[in-house]
Amino acid sequence: MQNPFIDIGSYGIWTAALDLQPSAVARECAAEIEQLGFGALWIPEAVQRDVLAHSLILLEATESLKVATGIANRYARDAMTTNAAMQTINEAHPGRFLLGLGVSHGHLVAGIRKHEYSKPYTEMVAYLDAMDKALFLAPTGEPPAQMVLAALGPRMLKLAADRTAGAHPYFVPPEHTAIAREVMGPEPLLAVEQMVVFDTDPSTARATARSHMEIYLGLPNYANNLMRLGYTEEEISNADDRVVDAVVAWGTMDDVLARIQAHRDAGADHVCIQVLDADMAHLPRKEWTELAAALGLG
């Protein structure tokens, strides 16, 4: 069952490309994604725009589209600040903002932000406790502000189910979706990300996929998750075809739709689709339009 307070629909768009465009172009794209009928637009946080400020920019450019963070770095702000931002955005745009919150990765937290990155799960529990207790005296929106956690392993998935509206697993094949649903139970929101490449040539399609996967395959969070699913350390470090094909759907529209449906059959409430291109700044507007038509949106 989807979260009763915020309906993000069955399908969304996940994109980092808006961060690489002027904000005016990002606003145009958000309005276009809304008109195509997607339920939500997911945007990341790394070393580009502040994801909460960016969310407000995109919400103000649209009327009904939900904007979700995929994922806001919990080390970027203290718990009181994150709670205040979530409440502020929700009051301005009630029921249209979904805070996706996560522990990020060591190279971003310790390497770039210079914070200690030692006990991500324990510190996330403490962070959620602090958000719950945070003082906030400004008006709040109705329905109440909602949050999901970036979650891969069973402990974080269970925490997401117990303490938030649900989970946003990223860089996962459908077999992980089935596990996540089993761990979380039937009710929490399960919103999974799916990378896709519209290219029927195995060599070039996989090359495009690998260019986007390379950084993720080197991160312990994602590598460990794939190993839990049965992929070997050697397959992951070499970005073998089996790993590429498990994480990225490539080929025809029918191939992509089959992978999206596999997530849905495995228990996903929502699939947010990330269209990959050799040029990471490319805006796949043509592909978004074709996806909307193929999914029967609009």
User: Which residues are 102's β-sheet partners?
Assistant: 73
CA–CA separation, 228 and 251 (whole Å): 27
**Strand 146-149 with 189-197, pairing:** unpaired
Please report whether residue 242 resides in a domain.
no
Reported as a single tens digit per residue, the pLDDT across 200-257 is 999 999 999 999 999 999 999 999 999 999 999 999 999 999 999 999 999 999 999 9
Q: Residue 96 belongs to a domain with what CATH number?
A: 3.20.20.30
Reported as a single tens digit per residue, the pLDDT across 274-295 is 999 988 889 999 999 999 999 9
If you average pLDDT over residues 64-73, what whole number do you get? 97
Computed over every residue of the chain, the mean pLDDT equals: 94
The residue assigned the tokens 């925490």 is 159
Please report whether residue 85 resides in a domain.
yes
Does residue 174 contact residue 258 with C-beta atoms inside 8 Å? no
- Tell whether the model's pLDDT for residue 110 goes beyond 80: no
Please report whether residue 200 resides in a domain.
no
- Tell whether the model's pLDDT for residue 112 goes beyond 70: no
- pLDDT of 113: 61
Where does the pLDDT of residue 4 fall: very low under 50, low under 70, confident under 90, or very high at 90 and above? low
Does residue 284 contact residue 195 with C-beta atoms inside 8 Å? no
Please report whether residue 107 resides in a domain.
yes
Please report whether residue 286 resides in a domain.
yes
pLDDT cut 90: percent of the chain above it: 89
- Tell whether the model's pLDDT for residue 29 goes beyond 80: yes
Q: Which domain holds residue 158?
A: 11-193+253-294
Domain count within the chain: 1
* HEC readout, the chain: CCCCCCCCCCEEEECCHHHHCCHHHHHHHHHHHHHHCCCEEEECCCCCCCHHHHHHHHHHCCCCCEEEECCEEHHHCCHHHHHHHHHHHHHHCCCCEEEEEECCCHHHHHHHCCCCCCCHHHHHHHHHHHHHHCCCCCCCCCCCCEEEECCCCHHHHHHHHHHCCEECCCCCCHHHHHHHHHHHCCCCEEEEEEEEECCCCHHHHHHHHHHHHHHHHCCHHHHHHHHHCCCCHHHHHCCCHHHHHHHEEECCHHHHHHHHHHHHHHCCCEEEEEECCCCCCCCCHHHHHHHHHHCCCC
Residue 91 tokens read as 């009051």
- Tell whether the model's pLDDT for residue 3 goes beyond 50: no
Where does the pLDDT of residue 106 fall: very low under 50, low under 70, confident under 90, or very high at 90 and above? low
Residue 82 tokens read as 């994150």
Residue 193 tokens read as 């990300």
- Tell whether the model's pLDDT for residue 85 goes beyond 80: yes
Output the pTM of the full model. 0.96
Please report whether residue 206 resides in a domain.
no
If you average pLDDT over residues 22-38, what whole number do you get? 98
Among candidate residues 251, 258, 242, the one with its CA nearest the CA of residue 200: 251
Where does the pLDDT of residue 1 fall: very low under 50, low under 70, confident under 90, or very high at 90 and above? very low
- Tell whether the model's pLDDT for residue 114 goes beyond 90: no
- pLDDT of 11: 98
Please report whether residue 179 resides in a domain.
yes
- pLDDT of 7: 94
Does residue 66 contact residue 41 with C-beta atoms inside 8 Å? yes
If you average pLDDT over residues 154-165, what whole number do you get? 98
Residue 111 tokens read as 């390497």
- pLDDT of 191: 98
